[in-house]
Amino acid sequence: MDRLRRISRHLLAGDELGLSPESCAAAASSAQPSEDAKQRKSKFVDIIRTYIMETHRLRTTGETPSMTLHEVLMMQPPYSKRTGLGKQLEKAEAKGYLAALSLLPGPWADAQTREDKLRLLELDWMAQQEGIQLQLYAAYQERYGDKGLGSNIVVPSVVMHSKVTEKITPEKQLTPLDSAIVQRIVARVIVADPEDAERVARIHVRKEPNFGVLMDSIISTTDNEHWREQRQHLVEAFLPLSSLAEILPVSLARAKDCANRLGSLAKDGQPVDMSDFLLHEAQAQLQLALLGAPESLMEETNQGIRKTFMFHPDAKLGDLSNAMKELMKVAQEDRTLGLPSDGCPVRGPLSRALQTGNFHASTDYGNLLLILFAGHDTTGHTMTWLTFELARHPDIQRKVQEEVDHFFRCLNGRDPTYQDLSKFDVLDRCITETLRLWPAVANGTFRQLQFAEELRANGESKVTLPKGTFVTISNWCRHRNPELWGADADSFNPWRSFASEELARVGCPMAARTPQSARFSPFAHNPRSCLGKNFAQMEMRLILSYLFHKFSFALAPPYDALMDTTTKASDTNPRTFRGINSGGTMGPMDLEHGGSVSEDERFLVAMKLRVAPTSAQAQWHARHRRASDVQDTLYESCEGEFVSNRGEQAGLYGSQGSKKTGVSFKFQPS
Ligand code: HEM
C-alpha cells in the first residue's frame, strides 16, 4: 500500500487530489450515513427506478421519458460511485475481465495487494471526476512505457456500461433491467502507437457499450450493421454542397448576430467569458441551422441544455428533458423541414432526417440527445481554445485578422458563400493546430476489438490482445507526442508542417474528407469518424471570421497569468491550469470557480478575455495599407507597436498589462 501510495503521489500529486489521509478519513466517515444522507440515497434510488421504467417504456412503446440520465446523475449523492468497488473488483477478477492487465505495461504491475488495486481504481475514478484522466494516463505512459507518450499501456478503469446499445427490433424481448446502466471494472488498453492507433480505429468499428446514456444512437450502437444504416441515412444532412451550402445563410445570419451580441457584452469594457459565449453560439448554430428550430425555442433552451450536460451547479431539473420534448416535436411535426432529396428548399435537415429515418423511437431519442451535446460542446470548446491561443499569441492573432479583413474586402460587400470559405489559409492552420493541441474530443474513440489484434509492447515485442478487449484510441497522447510533432509539441504553432491530409479545409473539392493521419485524428478515423465535422468546419469559419474581423482578444485576469505558460500532457496536478475533460469533451479550466478540490465538486470550464473592437486598429492600419498586397503590407509597415516590458509585441490592448504577472505595455514607435 505504502509503495503504491508513493507511486500514486508521485504520479498524481495524490494529496492535492483529495486522496490525502485526511480526505480518506472524511470519505470513510461518510460511510456511516446520517439520516439526511439515507433519505437522499433512498430518494435517488426511487429516481433511478423511474428512469429505468421510463427508458424501458421508450424502448418498448416509444413513449418519451420525462427525464434524461444527465438529470438523474445531477441528483446523485456524493461518494455513491465509490461504494461497492471491492465487490466489483472481485466480480471482474472472477469473470476474467481484467486478464488484459497483464499483457501490456501499466500501473497494475505495481499493485501487489487488494488495497493497492482498490487505490488504483479510486485514482482512476477520481481522475474521471476531476476531468484529468487523460493526464493520468499520460503520466502512466511516461512511467511504465518505454516510448513515452507513444507507448501502448493498459490501465484498470471504472466504467458505466449499458446492456442495450444494439438495434431495438420488435422481436427483441426486453426487461426493465436491460435499461439499467451498470458500473463495472475493466482493463482498458490505451492505444498510443500511431500505426496501431490508425489500424485499430479503421478496422475495429465496434464501439464499447459506454454511451448507454445515448441509447442505441449512431455514436453508441455496438451493432455495426445498425450503425451503418443510421450513418447512411443521417449523412445526407451533412453533405457539403447539397445540404450545408444551402443552410449556410441561416448559419451566416447567426454568425453576424453573434458578433453584434459580443459587441454588446463587451461594451462597458468588462471581460467576457468566451467559453460560455462560444458554447452558446455553437448551440444556437446547431438548433437554428441544422435542426430548423425557431429562434425563441433556441434562446429559451440554450443555457439549460448546456448547464445540464456540464453538470453545472445551477442546472435545473427538467431543462434538458423539456428541451428534448420540444425539439422532438419540431422534428416530428414541422412540415416545412427539408433534406436535399425532398426536392424542396433545404431547412433543418437534421430534424428532417430524424423524421424520415424509420428507426426505433429510442434511436431517434438517443440521436437528438447526442446531437444536442456533440453538436455544440465540441465546436464551442474548439473555438474557445483557438481564441485563447490567439490572445496568447498577438502576432498570430494579427495574421488572422489581416486574412479575414482581406477576405471581407474581396467580397466587396456581398455575403460569403460556402465556396468562399476555401479562401482561408491562416485560419485553417489555426483551427487545425487547435484541434491538435486542445482536441475537444481528447478521449478519441472507445472500441471493443472484433477479433484478436497484435499491438506493440515495450522494447521490440508485440502482444496479442484477445477479441472483446476494450481499447481507447486516445487523441490526447498522440497529438502531444514530441516524437511525432517535434520538441514544441506542447506549444501552439500553426506554421508547423502539417501533412496535406491533416489540414482542414472547407468549400473546395476535397473539403469533405476527414482530416486524419496516424498521428492526428481530432474527428476520429474513417469510417467511424465524426458525422458533423463538415458542419463544424463551416460554422467555425463563419463565427471566427466575423469575430476576428470586428474584435481583438486579450487574456483577462486571472487568465493573464497564463500568457507564457505551457501545459504539459502529463501534468496531473489538479490545480494547474488544464483542459477539463469530463462528460466526453475537453474545455478550459475555470480559474475562478474550479480551484477547490473535493470529491463531489466538478471542475467547471470558463475563459475570460478582454474584447475590444478592431475599428481603431483597422483605421490605423488603413492609413498604412496599399490597396493590393494586403497580406504582407500590414505586418511589415507597422510604424509602432505595443511592446511589453519583456520586449514582446502585445497587440492592441495588451496595453492594460497585468498586476499579477508584472507585465506592462507601452506604445513604441518604430
Ligand atoms: C470541432 C468539432 C467536433 C469534433 C472535434 C468532433 C469529434 C468527434 C469525434 C472524435 C467523434 C468520435 C467519437 C467516438 O467514436 O466516440 C465524433 C463522432 C460524432 N460526431 Fe463529432 N465532433 C465535432 C463536431 C460535431 C458536430 C457539430 C456534430 C453534429 C452536429 C457532431 C456529430 C457527431 C456524430 C453524430 C458522431 C458519431 C459518428 C458515428 O459514430 O458514426 N460532431 N465527433
| 473 within 8 A of 444, measured Cβ to Cβ | yes
Residue 82 domain flag: no
Over range 59-69, report the average pLDDT: 92
SS (H, E, C) 437-493: HCCCCCCCEEEECCCCEEEECCCCCEEEECCCCEEEECHHHHHCCHHHHCCCCCCCC
Segment 20-47, tens digit of pLDDT? 233 333 444 444 567 788 888 888 889 9
Residue ranges making up the domain that contains 354:
232-426+506-518+521-549
CA 624: distance to chain centroid?
41
User: In terms of pLDDT, which residue wins out, 68 or 644?
Assistant: 68
pLDDT surpassing 60 at residue 399: yes
Asked if residue 178 is part of any domain, the answer here is no
pLDDT at 27 (0 to 100): 41
Would you give the DSSP letter of residue 241? Answer: I
Radius of gyration over every alpha carbon of the chain, rounded to an integer in angstroms: 25
Q: Within a domain: residue 297?
A: yes
For all residues of the chain together, what is the average pLDDT?
Answer: 86
Distance 331 CA to ligand 1 centre (A): 21
| 229/616: higher pLDDT | 229
Q: Has residue 81 got a pLDDT over 90? A: no
Share of the chain above pLDDT 90, in %: 72
Q: Contact, 148 vs 141, CB < 8 A?
A: yes
DSSP string, 36-72: HHHHHHHHHHHHHHHHHHHHHHHHHH-PPPS--HHHH
- The alpha carbon of 570 and the centre of ligand 1 are apart by a number of angstroms equal to 25
Which one is predicted more confidently, 510 or 633? 510
513 lines ligand 1 (CB under 6 A): no
CA nearest ligand 1 atom 3, residue: 378
Chain position carrying cell 460511485: 81
Is residue 258 in some structural domain? yes
pLDDT number for residue 144: 98
Q: Pick the atom of ligand 1 nearest to 443's CA.
A: 10
Distance 374 CA to ligand 1 centre (A): 6
Asked if 309 and 583 touch (Cβ cutoff 8 Å), the reply is yes
Q: Considering the domain boundaries, does residue 526 fall inside one?
A: yes
Mutate-to-test residue for ligand 1 from 427, 437, 530, highest number of ligand atoms within 8 A of CB: 530
- Ligand 1 atom with the smallest distance to the CA of 528 is 41
3-state SS class at 503: coil
- Render pLDDT for 7-22 as a digit per residue (tens, 0 to 9): 344 333 333 222 223 3
Residue 431 beta carbon below 6 angstroms from any ligand 1 atom: no
In whole angstroms, give the CA distance from residue 404 to residue 546: 8
Q: Is 440 near ligand 1, meaning CB less than 6 Å away?
A: yes
Say if residue 655's pLDDT is above 60: no
pLDDT(149) > 50: yes
For ligand 1, the distance from its centroid to the CA atom of residue 440, given in whole angstroms, is 10
Q: How confident is the model at residue 82 (pLDDT cuts 50, 70, 90)?
A: low
Residue 385: pLDDT band (50, 70, 90) is: very high
Residue 323 Cβ inside 6 Å of ligand 1? The answer reads no
From 36-50, 262-276, 376-390, 441-455, the region with the lowest mean pLDDT: 36-50
Flag whether 362 is in a domain.
Answer: yes
Question: What is the rounded distance in angstroms from the CA atom of residue 397 to the CA atom of residue 609?
Answer: 14
Given this model, what pLDDT does residue 509 score?
A: 76
Give the ligand 1 atom nearest the CA of 231: 41
pLDDT value for 66: 92
Distance from the CA of 447 to the center of ligand 1, in angstroms? 15
Please tell me the residue having the least CA distance from ligand 1 atom 40: 219
pLDDT, residue 1, reads 34
Question: Annotated binding residue at 430?
Answer: no
Residue nearest to atom 7 of ligand 1 (CA): 523
Would the CB of 218 count as within 6 Å of ligand 1? yes
- Would the pTM of this model clear 0.85, i.e. be above it? yes
DSSP 3-state of 28: helix
CATH number, domain containing residue 291: 1.10.630.10
pLDDT digits (tens, 9 = 90+) for 591-625: 998 644 444 556 899 999 999 999 755 544 444 44
H/E stretch holding 579 reads strand 579-582
Residue type, position 205, single letter:
V
Nearest CA to ligand 1 atom 16: 445
pLDDT confidence tier of residue 186, bands split at 50, 70 and 90: very high
| Among 7, 370, 96, 56, residue whose Cα is nearest residue 213 | 370
pLDDT above 90 (res 373): yes
Give the amino acid at 146. Answer: D
- 167 Cα–ligand 1 center, Å: 20
Cα(370) to ligand 1 centroid in Å equals 9
Tally of structural domains, the chain: 1
Residue type, 189: V
Ligand 1 in reach of 372 Cβ (< 6 A) = no
Mean pLDDT across 220-226: 96
Q: Whose CA is nearest to atom 19 of ligand 1?
A: 530
Which residue would you say has higher pLDDT here, 291 or 39?
A: 291
Could you tell me if the CB of 523 is within 6 A of ligand 1? yes
Indicate whether 660 pLDDT > 50.
Answer: no
For residues 562 and 608, the answer to whether their CB atoms sit within 8 Å is no
Nearest 5 degrees, angle CA 430-CA 435-CA 441? 160
d(Cα 215, Cα 58) in Å, to the nearest integer?
10
Answer whether residue 349 is part of any domain.
yes
Q: Is 374 in the pocket of ligand 1 (CB under 6 A)?
A: yes
Q: Cell numbers of 234, please? A: 443521417
pLDDT greater than 60 at residue 6? no
Give CA–CA dist 644/662, Å, rounded: 10
Per-residue pLDDT, 457: 97
- In this prediction, residue 179 carries a pLDDT of 85
Question: In this model, does residue 634 exceed pLDDT 70?
Answer: no
Atom 13, ligand 1: which residue's CA is nearest?
A: 445
Which residue did the predictor score with more confidence, 602 or 159? 159
Flag whether 184 is in a domain: no
pLDDT digits (tens, 9 = 90+) for 95-127: 999 999 999 999 999 999 999 999 999 999 889
Pairing of strands 470-473, 462-465: unpaired
